[in-house]
Structure 1
Amino acid sequence: MTPRESAAVLRGICARTPVIPVMEIHDAGRARPLAEALLAGGLSVLEVTLRTPAAEAALREMAQVPGAVVGAGTLLTPCDVARAVEAGADFGVSPGATPRLIEAALDAGLPLLPGAVTPSEMMRLLEEGHDMLKFFPAAASGGASALAAIAAPLPQLAFCPTGGVTEANAPDYLALPNVLCVGGSWTAPRALVEAEDWPAIERLAHRAAGLAHRLRAG
């Protein structure tokens, strides 16, 4: 896989949804009903961060849900890439980008959404062929206004902002032409997951899925 091929796949994935739920899962037994609730609410692209012992098992469970496109998040090393591939991830997400990480993902055929926050980081990735990036940490790095400013000198780039993105400020990002989607944890809060309140999570997902429609209507 080349960087341009990876970026093209990721653009297609990100264009499917206005919001990617970013989840830290502690009990793999809840993964499948959680994914089903999110899909029922209209969110088909999901991210499971590799931060817990249950993450890989949870990813495997979610990957078996029909219609789900499941990514492995917080990929930091080539070992993490191997774990993501073995667990059945459709794509990977990283808070940053290193040559070894990118090489491992390309060699494994895993589309990787690399993180960048400065123009220099973005230019280096663009030079390599990566034109679909994660903007992280979004809120701490200037938020939607920063991405609006970046669009002028770097119009080739598209972004998925994460980090401090909420239901309240997501529309500010989604209104930008260089933002395809956002990533956030508010659609699957830990308290609701642990309570197994799948109807409540479905309602949150439905509201999130409607963000793009409301922006177009407005």
Structure 2
Amino acid sequence: MSFEMWLKQSKPVIPVIVIDEIEQAVPLARALLAGGVTLLEVTLRTPVAFAAIERIAKEVPEAIVGVGTATKAEHIQQAKDAGAQFALSPGISEGLVQKSQDLALPFMPGVMTPSDIIHGLDCGLTEFKFFPAQQAGGVKMLKAFSGPFPNVKFCPTGGISQESAQDFLSLDNVMAVGGSWLCSKALMAEKDWAGIEELAKSS
């Protein structure tokens, strides 16, 4: 299934999740789901990331859990083995694309330039993570991409806040935004699942 199809069943935001303690995984996933956020990106920024994906996949099957910050083909394999349903990367490479295709794991690579997008199109992809969104030109850059790439959809991530998200989501070529505000370090540390649920509902 494509990311755009999945997002028809979810709010148009993919939370950028950093899990420090494995015990955070399931209550966090349940809080986000209760707030209407279905696609969950668990980033490979901590040692428990794959274990967290496995636990969410088993205990919160309604969630569509995937891996973020995949930078090597082996990350794609480990994610699939852990039960991930998709993979995201900050960039694009032949190895990442080939591995995801071999495993039939939906993959959204990161792009920042027209050349990156053309590379992805040559690989048969039409959905991309625009990263780092704000630093790479933000809304103006995405508007510029719409001319030469009319059939491409983006999920901008990087420097996006709850307040600026709507500026991106108003663009026809944006299917969702990625953001860390839903799962801030403060809320995670306090295990404020009710607060995260409310943020999800208001996003």
Task: Decide whether the 8 Å contact of 1:25 with 1:58 is kept in 2.
Answer: yes
Residue equivalent to 2:3? 10
**SS where residue 140 of structure 1 aligns?**
coil
**SS where residue 134 of structure 1 aligns?**
strand
Residue equivalent to 2:95? 100
Task: Decide whether the 8 Å contact of 2:139 with 2:168 is kept in 1.
Answer: yes
1:128-162, Cα deviation, whole Å (9 max, x unpaired) = 21111110000000101110111011111000000
Unpaired segments ≥5 residues, structure 2:
none
Higher relative contact order (CA 8 A, sep 6+): 1
Separation of aligned partners in 1, 2:53 and 2:150:
34
Residue equivalent to 1:171? 166
Task: Decide whether the 8 Å contact of 1:14 with 1:160 is kept in 2.
Answer: no
Instruction: Give yes or no for the alignment of 1:86 onto 2:70.
Output: no
Worse overlay, 120-129 or 177-186: 120-129
Residue identity opposite 1:59 in structure 2: I
Separation of aligned partners in 2, 1:53 and 1:198:
22
The one of 84, 104, 109 aligned to 1:109: 104
Separation of aligned partners in 1, 2:12 and 2:122:
27
Instruction: Give yes or no for the alignment of 1:53 onto 2:47.
Output: yes
Instruction: Give yes or no for the alignment of 1:20 onto 2:14.
Output: yes
Following TM superposition, the consecutive aligned residue runs of length 4 or more in structure 1 with deviations greater than 4 angstroms are none
Unpaired segments ≥5 residues, structure 1:
1-7, 209-218
Query: What is the deviation of 1:82?
Result: 1.2
- Percent identical among aligned pairs is 45
**TM-score normalised to structure 1 length:** 0.89
Residue identity opposite 1:51 in structure 2: R
**SS where residue 183 of structure 2 aligns?**
coil
**SS where residue 202 of structure 1 aligns?**
helix
Cα root mean square deviation, aligned: 1.1
Separation of aligned partners in 2, 1:28 and 1:19:
23
Task: Decide whether the 8 Å contact of 2:97 with 2:123 is kept in 1.
Answer: no
**SS where residue 141 of structure 1 aligns?**
coil
Residue equivalent to 1:162? 157
